[in-house]
């Protein structure tokens, strides 16, 4: 019998359910992957409101589970194990998905698997691959910017992280400064297409040393530039926005690419993986690809649908855990500040 995993992701403002099948031929199939976005709900507030997020998870989760089962042509009794994100994330949001998965586990007498959200991003580039491979991973999202040396499943070594704002967080905050809609990342990328990346000289914080990141100074530099452009209001002229976006984005990407190549060299890896919501940025993808080709490195990027928060990546981790006999206790609690375990 094939192994069937039903996974739930509810760490922030995306409600997601996916069903994965592991075949006797050692292949992984995504039978369904459903996502209900809350971007339009939170946009008017300029960011995620935890109470609204958890309330909408509660409203959306059951219909998503039913849709996922219907699209996979399965019944709840066909599922081998239920998985859910246990952290990091918003506590009120994590509780909705985690409790639901545990309840389904108890009701059907099947295992429950707790999954670290960041491990989902870490493994997501391999979802369409036959096997996992040792690699140097850059995970870049709204809440995290991490460099991880992954030797094998469960064998992870953190090499660098952000000391303040994550890259995606910096995008959102700069977007807000510029008066762009939430979330800021896609809007900045869109505006940057019509701007010059050299129009403004923004700092590349910590680019010459170490593997940690810092984007707070870059964000502040943008704020100072806005005050120079319009001392009275601190808002840029409309015609300056594309150049500001392009110059800001160029600084972020320069830092990410430079640090990633340095990390790969430090651990001797020839394969680099890129994942997380910010990895959807086409300019970042192109810059990383060009840098890898120039340095004789291989690059594997998570598919766009698997880069933003989704349940398929949670199910992928859960499947690998389940096949190794590593299930979770129903007493295991969520952890909003959960870190990726190092071995």
Q: Does domain 135-302 have CATH number 3.30.420.40?
A: yes
Per-residue pLDDT tens for 183-211? 999 999 999 999 999 999 999 999 998 99
The pTM of the full predicted model, rounded to 2 decimals, is: 0.95
CATH class of 3-124+309-323: alpha beta
CB 175 within 8 Å of CB 184: yes
Backbone phi, psi, residue 211, to 5°: -120, 5
pLDDT at 7: 98
**Which band of pLDDT confidence, cut at 50, 70 and 90, is reported for residue 297?**
very high
CA distance 140 to 337: 17
Average pLDDT over every residue of 132-154: 95
Average pLDDT over every residue of 210-219: 95
Quick one: which of 53, 4, 10 has its CA closest to 32? 4
Per-residue pLDDT tens for 60-77? 999 999 999 999 999 999
pLDDT at 43: 85
Domain map (residue ranges) of the chain? 3-124+309-323, 135-302
Percent residues over pLDDT 70 in the chain: 99
Please tell me what DSSP assigns to residue 140: E
pLDDT at 342: 63
C-alpha distances out from residue 82 to 9, 55, 106, 110, 340, Å: 11, 22, 10, 7, 21
Average pLDDT over every residue of 121-140: 95
Residue 109 is encoded by which pair of tokens?
């007498």
| Residue 135 or 23, more confident | 135
Quick one: which of 39, 102, 104 has its CA closest to 65? 104
CB 21 within 8 Å of CB 322: no
Residue 280 has pLDDT above 90, yes or no: yes
**Rg (the chain; Cα; Å):** 20
Q: Assess whether the region 3-124+309-323 and the region 135-302 belong to the same CATH fold.
A: yes
Average pLDDT over every residue of 281-296: 98
Average pLDDT over every residue of 290-306: 96
């Amino acid at each position: 019998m094939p192994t069937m995993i039903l996974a739930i992701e509810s760490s922030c403002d995306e409600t997601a359910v996916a069903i994965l099948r592991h075949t006797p031929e050692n292949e992984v199939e995504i039978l369904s992957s459903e996502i209900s976005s809350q971007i339009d709900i939170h946009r008017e507030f300029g960011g995620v409101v935890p109470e609204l997020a958890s309330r909408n998870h509660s409203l959306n989760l059951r219909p998503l589970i039913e849709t996922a089962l219907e699209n996979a042509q399965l019944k709840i009794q066909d599922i081998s194990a239920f998985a859910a994100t246990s952290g990091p994330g918003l506590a009120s949001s994590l509780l909705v998905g985690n409790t639901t998965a545990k309840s389904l586990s108890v009701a059907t007498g099947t295992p429950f698997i707790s999954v670290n959200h960041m491990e989902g991003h870490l493994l997501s580039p391999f979802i369409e691959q036959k096997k996992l491979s040792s690699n140097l991973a850059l995970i870049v999202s709204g809440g995290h910017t991490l460099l991880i040396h992954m030797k094998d499943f469960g064998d992870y070594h953190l090499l660098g992280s952000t000391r303040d704002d994550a890259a995606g967080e910096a995008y959102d905050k700069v977007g807000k400064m510029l008066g762009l809609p939430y979330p800021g990342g896609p809007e900045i990328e869109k505006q940057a297409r019509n701007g010059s990346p050299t129009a403004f000289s923004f700092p590349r914080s910590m680019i010459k040393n170490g593997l940690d990141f810092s984007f707070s100074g870059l964000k502040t530099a943008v704020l100072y530039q806005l005050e120079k452009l319009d001392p009275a209001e601190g808002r840029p002229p409309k015609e300056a926005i594309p150049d500001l976006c392009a110059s800001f984005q160029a600084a972020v990407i320069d830092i990410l690419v430079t640090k990633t190549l340095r990390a790969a060299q430090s651990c001797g890896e020839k394969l680099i993986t890129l994942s997380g919501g910010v990895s959807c940025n086409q300019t970042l993808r192109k810059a990383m690809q060009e840098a890898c080709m120039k340095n004789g490195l291989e690059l594997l990027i998570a598919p766009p649908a698997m880069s933003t928060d989704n349940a398929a990546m949670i199910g992928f981790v859960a499947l690998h855990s389940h096949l190794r006999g590593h299930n979770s206790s129903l007493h295991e609690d969520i952890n909003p500040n959960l870190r990726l375990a190092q071995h």
